[in-house]
Structure formats: C-alpha cells, structure tokens
Amino acid sequence: MTPTAHEPAVLVLEDGRTFRGEAYGARGETVGEAVFCTGMTGYQETLTDPSYHRQVVVMTAPHIGNTGVNQADMESQRIWVAGYVVRDPAVRPSNWRSQGDLGDALDGAGVVGISGVDTRALTLHLRDRGAMRVGIFSGEAARAPHEELLRTVTETPRMAGSALAAEVSTQEAYVVAPPEGTPTRFRVAALDLGIKGMTPALLARRGIEVHVLPSTTTSEELLALEPDGVFFSNGPGDPATAEHEVALLQDVLERRIPFFGICFGNQLLGRALGLSTYKLAFGHRGINQPVLDRTTGKVEVTSHNHGFAIAWPEGIPTDQPVDTAYGAVRCDHVALNDDVVEGLSCVDVPAFSVQYHPEAAAGPHDAEYLFDRFVDLLQTSTKES
C-alpha cells in the first residue's frame, strides 16, 4: 500500500504521558486498556484473538506487518483489538502466504492505530506503572486540546470489573467435527467465552466432536447434550464478574464431568473452587513465557495473554495443595518469571486447566500435550462410569 504521507496521531495514557506518531490503520479515535505484547511473530493471531477485546495492544517487536495478512491465520472472524501501536510498519508485505496489507486490514476493520512510536519507552512505562487506560487520536480527533483527549481516556471504563465474554461469544451454537478419517470418540461442550479457532480444531483432531456454545448457555442446555467432557475457553474481561459461568462450572464439577479450561477458563475453575483472582500489574502477553509443569518437571516455552491470575491462598506455598469444596487442588503449572499460578489440577474431581495457551496458533507448541491430557481424562472417566 502507499502510506498516506505523515498524518499525525497522538497516544495519550491516563497518567498524562503522551507519545506522538503517525496515523496507522483507520483514522479517528479509540480508547482501551494499554497492554504490551512481546511476540516477535504471530501479529495476526494476536489481532484476531477475542481476548484482546477493549485492549490497545503495543507490539514490542519493532517491525510489524512484514508478512501481510491472510485468511488462514485468522483466529476468529475479525480483528478484536481496540487499537494498535507499532514502531515501524512494513511499507509492503512480502510473503508467499500474504493476501493483503496489515495497515489496510486495520483500516478496513475500523481499528485506529499509531506508528512511529518509541514502543520500548512505552513498554517500560507500562511495566513500571502497570497497565492503564489509553487513547489513540488521529485525523480530526487529534486536533482537540490535550485536556480533552485526557478526559476521553479517563472516562473509559477500567478493565477490572468489566464483564466482556458475552460481547465476543457466538450467538448460535455450532459443531466442529473431527476431520475426515478421524473417528469420533467423545462429545465435548465448549463454552465460547472468546474462543480462538485453533482450540476446537485441536480438540477435533483428537476425535472430539466439539459443540461450541454461547457464554449464556444454561446448565440444562449444556447437560442436555450429554457431553463426555466440558471445556471453557479463553476470553476478555475480569474473571471476577463471571458469575453465570462460575455457577455453570460448579454444576459440571458436582456431576464429575471431565473439565478442561484455558486462560479465562482456568480463572473460572479457580473461582468455581472458591479461589479468588486478582489483576496483575502489567500481565503476560507474548509467546516466549517459561512455565514449569510440576507433574513432569519439564519447562515449556508458552504463549500467554492474561492480565488477571488466580491468587493462591495467603501463607500456602504454590507447591502445596489447597482444600476446596470440591476436594484438593494443586498448582501444577507455575510461571518461572514471576511465580504466577499458571495451571490447576483437581485431585478429587476430573478437572484441570491452564492459564496459558496450548492451542498457540503462532506457536510455540510445547504445551500441545495438554489436549492429550484432556483426552486421557475423558477416556479414564468414560471407563469409570
């Protein structure tokens, strides 16, 4: 594409810090929570991840858009980020899979971005002060006085306390069947809280018929499917707000239906067990995060996108189990950078979950074994009943 020559844009953080740059993507204004993502690749998977709904994503990789965009790498039907901040966008994409230019795709989706920003300085600021609200203004919107722009930012709802899953979830249930030649072994009900396309694909590849359900699905509707297992997906927003989903999961645990949760799904398992969640200072977002699997002693390099996490009860080290209304729970996965709880395994009910992304469409694939663990759990539980 031919970039429009140097149209100014401005990024204003809620603490008043301001970065000037150039308009990128759509012109206009946008607000959201500023977060940084350290992935060196996979920008299209990031942009189309529904968990980024209402977030303005700052890319630490300096050169973005090199490989363009294509249909195959979409993790959902659309771009979800509220805004996009890059340092140096590719002038023209170059890749055999490319079907279009990233700047044009952002423009087409109405996503306001900014380029030419010192993303390292911005990231250090967010790392030191924590995730905060932000606005990007370009075109006519950028001409308003600074105080007015700052007011727009500070009037934006905070991420803490926001219930967003229903805004991104499917309206209608649909089925993802195993690929041709793969026999169907199990039926799983997957609650779509912001599900990414790769998750049902990886389940289906293992002989699972995946019934993807709206986040508002009731217990009766879910149980009517007589699922062999239940899955809760990733998703945007504050897990502390998800009362309906937590109650639904408690029904599942009471019936001892095998459960697997990813990211938001992990936080909801924690809540269903009676643990609480909290907001991390600046979250984990990227594809190079080391996690220890305590059951094997192996370290895996993993993909993350979370701003909240499960709080292990005060005074109990995370390598000690905790007693809950559903029996003991262990923290089997832990982040090696900061000891954040990255996964739960129930001892007395067939349920486990991880805070990170074994489906990681842009990779790494170290954690894909977790889908096999779920199949093993389905198999053992089917045999038992």
Ligand X SMILES: NC(=O)CC[C@H](N)C(=O)O
Which is closer to ligand X, CB of 138 or CB of 305?
Answer: 305
267 is in an annotated binding site: yes
Number of H helices, E strands in the chain: 10, 20
Determine whether the annotation assigns residue 235 to a binding site. Answer: yes
The DSSP letter of residue 179 is P
| 304 is known as an active-site residue | no
Establish whether 353 is an annotated binding residue.
no
The reply to whether 263 sits near ligand X by the rule CB under 6 A is: yes
Q: For residue 11, what are the CA distances in angstroms to 52, 136, 180?
A: 18, 4, 49
Tell the smallest beta-carbon distance from residue 327 to ligand X (Å). Answer: 25
Q: How far is the CB of 356 from ligand X (least distance, A)?
A: 9
Residue 305, marked binder: yes
CB 76 within 8 A of CB 50: yes
Q: Token pair of 267, please?
A: 């936080």
Of 231, 264, 282, 371, which one interacts with ligand X (CB under 6 A)? Answer: 264
Q: Which is nearer to ligand X, 30 or 51 (CB)?
A: 51
Q: How many CA atoms lie within 13 A of 32 on its CB side?
A: 26
235 CB-side CA count, 13 A: 33
Q: At 4, list the tokens.
A: 């429009």
Tokens representing 168? 């991104």
CB of 236 to ligand X, least distance (A): 5
Output the smallest distance, CB 300 to ligand X, in A.
Answer: 17
Q: Is 357 an annotated catalytic residue?
A: yes
Nearest to 304 by CA among 65, 103, 107, 42: 42
Stretch that binds ligand X, among 141-149, 180-188, 233-241, 341-349 (CB under 6 A): 233-241
Taking the least distance from each CB to ligand X, the nearer of 23 and 287 is 287
Q: Does 235 bind ligand X (CB under 6 A)?
A: yes
**Residue 339 region by backbone torsions, left for phi larger than 0, else alpha for psi between -120 and 50, else beta:** left
Stretch of 69-77, 85-93, 231-239, 366-374 contacting ligand X, by CB under 6 A: 231-239
Q: Does 51 bind ligand X (CB under 6 A)?
A: yes
Q: List the x/- string, 297-316, binding to ligand X by CB under 6 A.
A: --------xxxx--------
The string over 315-352, giving b where at least 16 C-beta atoms fall within 10 Å of a residue's C-beta and e elsewhere, is: eeebeeebebebeebbbbbbbeeeebbbbbbbeebbbb
Q: Is 307 annotated as a binding residue?
A: yes
Question: Annotation-wise, does 44 bind a ligand?
Answer: no
Question: Which stretch in 144-152, 183-191, 234-242, 312-320 sits in contact with ligand X by CB under 6 A?
Answer: 234-242
User: Is the CA virtual torsion 215, 217, 218, 222 positive or negative?
Assistant: negative
Q: How far is CA 152 from CA 109, 112, 134, 149, 159, in A?
A: 22, 15, 9, 5, 16
Please count the residues of this chain forming the interface with ligand X, following the rule CB under 6 A.
11
CA separation for the pair 67, 138 (Å, rounded): 25
Return d(Cα 347, Cα 135) in angstroms, integer.
45
Rounded least distance, CB 249 to ligand X, Å: 15
Residue of 14, 245, 263, 284 marked active site: 263
State the minimum distance, in angstroms, from the CB of residue 284 to ligand X: 9
Long-range contacts of 144-148 (CB under 8 A, 24+ apart): 146/12, 146/18
Grouping H, G, I as helix, E, B as strand and the rest as coil, residue 285 is strand
Q: Is 68 annotated as a binding residue?
A: no
**Contacting residue, 236, 258, 270, 358, with ligand X by CB under 6 A:** 236
234: contact with ligand X by CB under 6 A: yes
Residue of 157, 310, 160 whose CA lies nearest to 238? 160
Tell me if 54 contacts ligand X by CB under 6 A. no
Stretch that binds ligand X, among 13-21, 36-44, 202-210, 235-243 (CB under 6 A): 235-243
Q: Which is nearer to ligand X, 54 or 87 (CB)?
A: 54
Distance (Å, whole) CA 190 – CA 209? 10
Tell me whether residue 32 is annotated as binding: no
Q: Minimum distance between the CB of residue 295 and ligand X, rounded to whole angstroms?
A: 22
**Which residues are marked as active site?**
263, 357, 359
Binding-site residues from annotation:
51, 235, 237, 264, 267, 305, 307-308
Residues engaged in binding ligand X (CB under 6 A)? 51, 234-237, 263-264, 305-308
Binding residues for L-glutamine: 51, 235, 237, 264, 267, 305, 307-308
